[in-house]
Amino acid sequence: MAVIEVEGLHKTYGDRVAVDDVGLEVQAGEIFGLLGPNGAGKTTTVEILQGLRRRDRGRVRVLGMDPQRDGDRLRRRIGAQLQSSALPDRLRVGEALWLFARGRDGAPTLEWLGRRWGLEGLWRRPFAKLSGGEQQRLFIALALVNRPEVVFFDELTTGLDPQARRATWDLVGRVRDDGATVVLVTHFMEEAEHLCDRFMEEAEHLCDRVAIVDQGRVVATGTPSELVTRADATQRVSFTWPGADAAWLSGIAGVDRVTRRGDAVGVAGGLAGRGVAPADFRTYHPDLEDVFLALTGRDLRA
């Protein structure tokens, strides 16, 4: 069953088009990633889905409701962590959970939330004293106090170190395990690949999918493996070769693209049989960043 349906969504700010004819569908129980560079229109799209921003035109349904018309009723059934989430510095973890859960029908107990999201030892700690990973655990708990059916996470791991990012990925997985549909907004392609790959094997009847967004448009939708196959992204290798002749490498049969940063050389294509065998030779299989390059002609990191 589709819990989110979007057709022909359009939003402008003055002369700038932020969302341009976006269409997508999210199925119940999946983790759905909105991926793309900063400024691609991802946050505007999810704010419209939550009823926080008005659309110019298009059809939008979340849990069968129009967010623009039924915003108050819808927000009782969804949860969200916004891109710029913050709390007062001196507000303690236990106080924040109590404040957000107050008056919520069917809200889980504070003790359950603390155990579920690893907050028991932080009950009396003020928000300003939490690490980045601890803050994100708190924001996830706050997004779930109303037992939502759909949860939106917008750039959840921005600013976190690699260890905290991976811990947060596992927490997002638990949200889906608890029965919610997750919409994950991110510009980290690795993040969406990790989450989708983790659950692909657990639910044979369900494929978690991603939508790649660029300049306000959805340019592709599917599972990561489907997108890589569809884009026909090229396998590449990298190695260190001081004084490498990039022009010579580009002329080798099977080589599609050569990049160089200092002594580090990246080659998309094949070097087999060319006598190049550096000690740090590495092979990279195509990923979602390669898909973005193939579809848009631009490097995501650029």
CATH, range 2-231: 3.40.50.300
The domain ranges of the chain are 2-231, 236-285
What is the C-alpha separation between 240 and 20, in angstroms, rounded? 43
pLDDT string in tens for the chain (302-residue length):
899 999 999 999 999 999 999 999 999 988 898 888 888 899 999 999 999 999 999 999 999 999 999 999 999 899 988 767 789 999 999 999 988 887 666 667 788 888 888 888 899 999 999 988 888 889 888 888 888 999 998 877 766 677 777 777 777 788 888 889 999 888 666 666 655 554 433 333 334 788 989 999 999 888 877 887 777 666 666 666 676 666 767 776 666 677 776 666 666 655 545 555 555 656 666 677 777 777 777 666 55
Rounded Cα gap, residues 180 and 150, in angstroms: 5
